[in-house]
Amino acid sequence: MRKLIMFLLIAAMAVICACSQDQPDKNDDFVFVKGGTFKNNQSNYADKKEALSNFYIGKYEVTQKEWVEVMGSNPSAFKGDLLPVEMVSWYDVVEYCNQRSIQEGLNPYYNIDKVKKDANNRNDNDNIKWTVTINEGANGYRLPTEAEWEYAAGGGQNSKGYIYSGSNNADEVAWYWKNAGDKYLSGDWNWPIIESNQNKTKSIGTRKPNELGIYDMSGNVREWCWDWHGELGSPSGSFRIVKGGGWIGDVTNNEISFRGKFDPNGFGPDQGFRVVRGEI
* pLDDT > 60? residue 170: yes
Round the CA-based radius of gyration of the chain to a whole number and report it. 20
Q: List helix spans (H) across the chain.
A: 2-22, 64-71, 90-103, 146-153, 170-173, 191-196
pLDDT tens-place string over residues 20-78: 333 334 468 999 999 999 999 999 999 998 899 999 999 999 999 999 999 999 999 99
Is the pLDDT assigned to residue 108 strictly greater than 60? Answer: yes
User: What's the confidence (pLDDT) of residue 49?
Assistant: 86
Asked if residue 14 belongs to a domain, the reply is: no
Q: Tell me, yes or no, whether 34 lies in a domain.
A: yes
DSSP-based helix, strand, coil % in the chain, nearest 5: 25, 20, 55
| 10 falls within a domain | no
Mean pLDDT for the stretch of residues 88-101: 98
Query: Among residues 159, 157, 191, 156, which one has the least CA distance to residue 177?
Result: 191
Picking from 234, 143, 149, 246, the residue whose alpha carbon sits closest to that of residue 202 is 246
Residue 13 maps to a domain = no
Count of the separate structural domains present in the chain: 1
125-164 per-position pLDDT tens digit: 999 999 999 999 999 999 999 999 999 999 999 999 999 9
- The overall longest dimension of the chain from CA atoms, in Å, is 78
Residue-wise pLDDT for 199-239, tens only, equals 999 999 999 999 999 999 999 999 999 999 999 999 999 99
Tell how far CA 228 is from the center of its chain: 17
Is 6 within the bounds of a domain? no
8, part of any domain: no
256 close to 83: Cβ distance less than 8 angstroms: no
Q: What's the CATH code of the domain at 144? A: 3.90.1580.10
- Asked, for residue 11, whether it belongs to a domain, the answer is no
Supply the range of the domain harboring residue 217.
29-277
